[in-house]
Amino acid sequence: MPNYTGSCYCRAIEYELQLSSPDDARTSLCHCRNCNKAFGTNYGLTTKVPKESFHVTKGETKEHAADNGTGVTLYREFCDICGSHILEYGEAAKDKFRYVTVGTLDDPNALPPKGEFFCKSRANWMPEIPDVFYKQEIKE
Ligand SMILES: [Zn+2]
Ligand SMILES: [Zn+2]
């Protein structure tokens, strides 16, 4: 069973991802404005995993919940010491999935992207990732 580990920048928070196969993770870019703001970059990079595969092994995340601008509550969890964004999920995914920030994985190359969301909001200078799926909007 592949096991992935990760942490925030200051390592106060550490976590483990237990997947039966790398195919159980779906990594994607999201170019939406919410991701721009939350990640502080021109896209967000997360991997969608079954909720039960994600475990915090050290420390405790701080939760932020707010309307994402379309009436949907979006939850984000981060380190309240160093500010690293650890994961997020929308109301609909709450009981099933977690979207873990790929940059916090100890090996960020382990789960490469399979698709891009909100391509209509892609930064002008940013090229497409080759050989993945592209959606103009919607991130489940
Ligand atoms: Zn931290
Ligand atoms: Zn987004």
Q: Give the pTM.
A: 0.94
Please say whether the beta carbons of 117 and 29 come within 8 A: yes
Residue extents of the structural domains in the chain = 3-134
3-state secondary structure of 102: helix
Q: Closest Cα to residue 99, out of 111, 83, 87, 108? A: 87
Q: How far is the CA of 84 from the centre of ligand 1 (A)?
A: 6
Torsion from C-alpha of 123, 112, 99, 127, nearest 10 degrees: 10
How far does the centroid of ligand 2 lie from the alpha carbon of residue 15, in Å? 23
User: Taking all residues of the chain, what is their mean pLDDT, rounded to a whole number?
Assistant: 95
Q: What is the model's pLDDT at position 140?
A: 53
pLDDT of amino acid 131 = 97
Rounded CA separation 92/3 (Å): 26
Q: How far is 136 from 5, CA to CA, in rounded Å?
A: 31
Q: What is the pLDDT of residues 76-132, one digit of tens each?
A: 999 999 999 999 999 999 999 999 999 999 999 999 999 999 999 999 999 999 999
**Ligand 2 center–CA 35 separation, angstroms:** 4
CA of 60 to the centre of ligand 1 (A): 10
Burial 26-48 (b: 16+ CB within 10 A, else e): bbbbbbbebbbebbeeebbbbbb
Tell me the one-letter amino acid at 78: F
What is the CA(38)–ligand 2 centre distance, in A?
A: 9
- Domain covering 3-134 in this structure, CATH number: 2.170.150.70
Q: Measure 130 CA to ligand 1 centroid, in angstroms.
A: 33
